Structure 1
Amino acid sequence: YQAFVASIDLLSLHCPVCGVVGLFILYGHYKRFVITDDTSNDCKINIRVQRIQCTQCRSTHSLLPTNFVPYTQFTYLFIYYIVTLDENDDLITSFDVALQTVRKIKARVIAFWDSLFPDWRDFKQNDLKIESLKRHNILFGSTRSYCKLFVLPTEL
């Protein structure tokens, strides 16, 4: 994650609130647990999510790589596993996530994808991710509304 943050050129980013380009400053951080899709190591890690602030409108945003899903502890790939695999699959149970949580995420994501592109079940995993990101304009995790989120263009 730190390498991801270091690779970002703040001068090239546009503010999703006011639209100005390149007027961001580093603005603290917060700790967040993330459940990665790496089953070979400890899959639950603690990271310091970098925040930035637009100096024009003073809105703040979190810098998240596209594989992190805003406002959840799960990566995009793990959510894809939850949706496409049986809930008792060894891969899902190896993450030690409550079955109730798995079911809740699965229902929410399926309803979300069905509303955007009903034929999502025919997509390959990477194509589904790319299409999801295109449709949501995802770049910063600055709002709880998925349709108002943004993704670094260099990550598509």
Structure 2
Amino acid sequence: MILNENDYQAFVASIDLLSLHCPVCGVVGLFILYGHYKRFVIIDDISSGECKIQIPVQRIQCTQCRSTHSLLPTNFVPYTQFTYLFIYYIVTLDENDDLITSFDVALQTVRKIKARVIAFWDSLFPDWRDFKQNDLKIESLKRHNILFGSTRSYCKLFVLPTEL
């Protein structure tokens, strides 16, 4: 789990670029590091006292097709500052639960996310309430661009499996 910039840098350092498949053209091992961008992330762990951290997200480029991708661990949700677990908390806990209110996120935002995610999960897999958390995570991330209304396809953003 990524809880600070050092954790993220260790995650990036552990990646073997020669083993990665390009999600656009399918070639293996032709990635180069290609800059980074700053991203704020609300992390799942409130024990550190910091709920919002800034991470320099590493970009990579496929030298075959020139497409670029972000190296995101699986607890980061593409196109949002929330982690998967925080979104899971929003959906499965009461909006006034101490765990949710401790993150200092506007109640209106919490309600909007909850309504959108529940509608999404209900439409794609109505039995989501019976899923194990990891299965729900995998299924929702596969369809993330629908959930957040992104104009970009989810498959163009490379999400690496960091946990089993």
Which secondary structure state, in structure 2, belongs to the residue aligned with residue 138 of structure 1? helix
**Residue of structure 2 in register with 1:47 after alignment:** 55
Give the TM-score of the pair, scaled to structure 1.
0.87
Partner Cα separation in structure 1 for residue 22 and residue 147 of structure 2 = 10
**Higher mean C-alpha displacement, 4-13 vs 121-130:** 121-130
Which secondary structure state, in structure 2, belongs to the residue aligned with residue 137 of structure 1? helix
Partner Cα separation in structure 2 for residue 49 and residue 37 of structure 1 = 18
Identical pairs, percent = 96
Question: Are the equivalent residues in 2 in contact too, given 1:61–1:142 (CA < 8 A)?
Answer: no
Task: State the Cα RMSD in Å.
Answer: 3.3
Distance 1:148 1:72, change over 3 A: same
1:68 has 2:89 as partner: no
Unaligned runs of 5+ in 1: none
Which secondary structure state, in structure 1, belongs to the residue aligned with residue 143 of structure 2? helix
Question: Are the equivalent residues in 1 in contact too, given 2:43–2:53 (CA < 8 A)?
Answer: yes
What's the CA shift for 1:142? 11
Which secondary structure state, in structure 2, belongs to the residue aligned with residue 56 of structure 1? coil
Partner Cα separation in structure 1 for residue 13 and residue 146 of structure 2 = 20
What's the CA shift for 1:52? 0.3
Distance 1:40 1:88, change over 3 A: same
Distance 1:123 1:146, change over 3 A: same
**Residue of structure 2 in register with 1:101 after alignment:** 109
Distance 1:134 1:81, change over 3 A: same
Q: Of the two structures, which has the highest relative contact order with CA contacts closer than 8 Å and spacing of 6 or more? A: 2
Partner Cα separation in structure 2 for residue 144 and residue 88 of structure 1 = 33
Query: What CA deviation, in whole Å up to 9, does each residue of 1:30-78 have, x standing for no partner?
Result: 0011000114420100110000000011010000000000010011000
What's the CA shift for 1:103? 1.2
What's the CA shift for 1:154? 5.7
Unaligned runs of 5+ in 2: 1-7
